[in-house]
Structure 1
Amino acid sequence: MGDSQQVDLFLDQLVDGAPFKDDRALMEHPWFSLTKQPRKTPFEYNRGGVEIRIEPGAKGMASIWDKDLLMYIGSIINDKIERGEPVPEDRKIKFSAHDFLKATRRQTSKRGYDLFLDCLERLDGTRIRTNVASAKERTRKGFGWIESYTIHERKTKAGKTVMAAVEVTLNEWMFKAIVIDRRVLTISPRYFDLSKGMERRLYELARKHCGQQRSWLIGIPSLKEKCGSDREERKFRADLKKIIADANIPDYALRLDKAENFDSPFKSRSPKEWMLEVRPLRPRYDELPAADDDNAGNEQQLLANAKTVSARPKKLHIEAVERARGRYPGWDIELIEREWMRYTEERGQVLKNPEAAFFAFADKWVENRSVDA
């Protein structure tokens, strides 16, 4: 076994199928720059009693792409908790840089490693002052996103110096939020494919606010503030229109319109004010038929219990898709879902228990194919 393989045995990493998690407070408020151009000016946010001040370091303010590392580390810690493993009391996570770059869909070339080093320096240099609570304590704290980092290097047989491992000490504020408050939400892996900072920020807000409601409606001035944007409102709306037209944001549909055109008790008092509506593309748990555990895993019985209708079968809800990703690591879940919907539609049936039927179908699908097929 080579040296690098021996080192890997002692590195933390996300177990196959473990979902990425994000901190609810980081999703709710604007903490990061939305541009890849270094922001060197401080940022302040005051809304609803929440106070945030961000002071950039020498390399600029940490960006929403730099935040990927915080999610990666937080997801490793969360996975340890859910698997019943001890979490490091010193808040240190030691991992492979290559694993982080691959997991967040970044390039693994020399350029990728150079950008990763810049990311570490921005997270280390950015200073945050806030009164947002952590571990049920509301205090005014000042901290950096990471307290420290160490890069462990080794020489290859060719004499080239490479990153063998990276050790990061997470700040106490975030560590307590994950370990004590457990304020985390699962995010879609497709989040890491989003190339625009505004797209990423809109996904965060959608994921945070649409969990317990069928839609989320917000006025553009308030949305602009929650995004931390200093764009003129008309330009901000133009950015939104382009994002809506591109339709890249996973799991959610966006609509920009005047308040008077929305049918909602929470609409703006001004009928001419522009507003954004966000709706999940998948039904919530309470919009689906109740599951029947006795039928789970028995596809023929599920088909026999189905009622024939002319409607196309509905997509699975988000939580079921995330569970499928954990159950079938490496598989294209959306492909399996499409095949299952086609299979069901061809028979003109919608099942009473669609989730159990999907997993029964998927079990047979993966059993008869290879993951690379």
Structure 2
Amino acid sequence: MLMEHPWFSLTKQPRRTPFHYSRGGVDIRIEPGAKGMANIYDKDLLMYLGSIINEKLERGEKVSDRKITFAAHDFLRSTKRQTSKRGYSLFLDMLERLDGTRVRTNVESGNDKIRSGFGWIESYRIIERKTKNGRSIMAGVEVTLNEWMFKAIVIDRRVLTISPRYFDLSKGLERRIYELARKHCGQQRSWLISIPSLKEKCGSDREERKFRADLGKIIEDANIPDYTLRMGKSADFDSAFKSRNPKEWMLEVRPIRPQSDEAIEAAANPAEESPEKLFERGDAQFRPKPLSIHVINNARERFPDWDIDHLEREWAGSSQRNQLVIKDPEKAFMAFCERYIANRSIEM
């Protein structure tokens, strides 16, 4: 869903003009907010929140609350952003763009095919507290996803894993090409698309010749992970999907490691496989057993501003990755929470 269509601006410069996309029966209209239209870098937060929800679903938990509490430090670190005051300021701008951008679309979500309007997030709240020396710090963030986005994750299970190197991509067009490659090359050994169609799918308003020049530089830099790109005229390609116009420019995308026939078939039938997670965990034998309700309630009383379910997942994941054998789960969990909260608070 978020990878197939152009929902976000490709530049960090604030876009203040409305955007309209109409293709194959899909209609998308986006109006910028006071801080401009949400961009493809802001989208990282939606992917991060989606990974938190998906992890709960993978563990067999029922997810009905669209409100997610998390540590801003974890998000900034996971997406390779600054964790300084500057990073905090940019993070606030991101929240405002996601909250202020208005989306109107007929793309279905959760089996509901209706025309709907929403902001990328319904609301957000910064959880602040004072340190012993009087400094104000951001202890956590609470974000409520819009219902359309929430249904897409929980009901439709539209979650795809991405390479950690995606967050190293500095150009918005690089990120968008990776998304399209990730979406389309999972079902075939290569993907061929005309430049005019690609430009439309990217949501770019560049002139076509300049767009081709941008693609040429991206191909030359070869920074996009997992895929190789080749651009040329239609006559240069041996494919049944190439344009009938031999002079039309096209882009071919191929996985660096071609998938097996079984993997391609599985990708073409997603209902037969489990959705993939953005963040992988370690050896399952070291994962602690779920904490008792007594421990969870004690933690909620001790750390009222934090999502204890999230802290438990982080603790279990950390123990698993570090192959720790837990002898006293309650003591170990409380100590982990103390360290986790102290290390993930951002000075304001």
Structure 2 gaps of 5+ residues are 264-273, 285-321, 324-348
- CA offset digits 1:165-198 (Å, max 9, x no partner): 1000001001001111112211111111111100
Residues 1:57 and 2:37 aligned together: no
Does the alignment pair 1:274 with 2:249?
Answer: yes
From 195, 198, 218, the equivalent of 2:173 is: 198
Measure the CA separation in 1 of the matches of 2:235 and 2:132.
68
TM-score by length of 2: 0.76
Shift of residue 269 of structure 1? 1.0
Query: 1:287: Cα distance to partner?
Result: 7.5
Q: Rate the CA distance shift 1:46–1:97 in 2: closer, same or farther, 3 A.
A: same
Q: How does 1:159-308 map to 2 (within 5 A)?
A: 159-286=134-261
* Partner amino acid, structure 1, of 2:26: V
2:57 aligned residue (68, 73, 81): 81
Please state how far the C-alpha of 1:322 moved relative to its aligned partner.
8.3
- 1:31 equivalent among 1, 4, 7: 7
Total equivalences in the alignment: 275
Change in Cα spacing, 1:175 to 1:190, as seen in structure 2 (3 Å) is same
**Which residues of 2 match residues 37-186 of structure 1 at below 5 A?**
37-87=13-63, 89-186=64-161
Cα gap change, 1:154 to 1:119, in 2 (>3 Å): same
> What is the CA deviation profile of residues 280-331 of structure 1, one whole-angstrom value per residue up to 9, with x for unaligned ones?
011213279xxxxxxxxxxxxxxxxxxxxxxxxxxxxxx9x989954469xx
Partner of 1:363: none
Using the size of structure 1 for normalisation, the TM-score is 0.71
What do the CA deviations read for 1:125-178 (whole angstroms, capped 9, x no partner)? 000000000011110000000000000101122322111110000010010011
Cα deviation, 1:57-95, whole Å, max 9, x if unaligned, reads: 0000000000000000011000000011232x2300000
* Change beyond 3 A, Cα 1:79–1:323: closer
User: Quick check: 2:160–2:278 contact (8 Å CA) kept in 1?
Assistant: no
**1:327-369: CA deviations, max 9, x gaps?**
469xxxxxxxxxxxxxxxxxxxxxxxxxxxxxxxxxxxx99xx
Q: Percent identity between the aligned chains? A: 77
CA distance in 2, matches of 1:169, 1:287: 38
Which residue of the partner structure matches residue 338 of structure 1?
none
3-state SS of paired residue (2:235)? helix
Report the AA paired with residue 48 of structure 1. G
The 3-state SS of whatever aligns with 1:62 is: coil
Uncovered stretches (5+) of structure 1, i.e. residues with no partner:
1-24, 289-318, 330-365, 368-373
Which residue of 2 is the match for residue 4 of structure 1?
none
Report the 3-state secondary structure (helix = DSSP H, G, I; strand = E; otherwise coil) of the residue aligned with 1:272. Answer: coil
One-letter code aligned to 2:67: K
* Structure of higher RCO (CA pairs closer than 8 Å, 6+ residues apart): 2
Give RMSD over aligned pairs: 2.1
Question: What amino acid is aligned across from residue 62 of structure 1 in structure 2?
Answer: A
Aligned partners of 2:241 and 2:10: how far apart in 1?
A: 28
Q: Can you list the C-alpha shifts for 1:237-288, whole angstroms capped at 9, x where unaligned? A: 0000000111110100000111100000010010000000000011213279
- The verdict on how the C-alpha distance between 1:82 and 1:274 changes in structure 2, with shifts beyond 3 A counting, is same
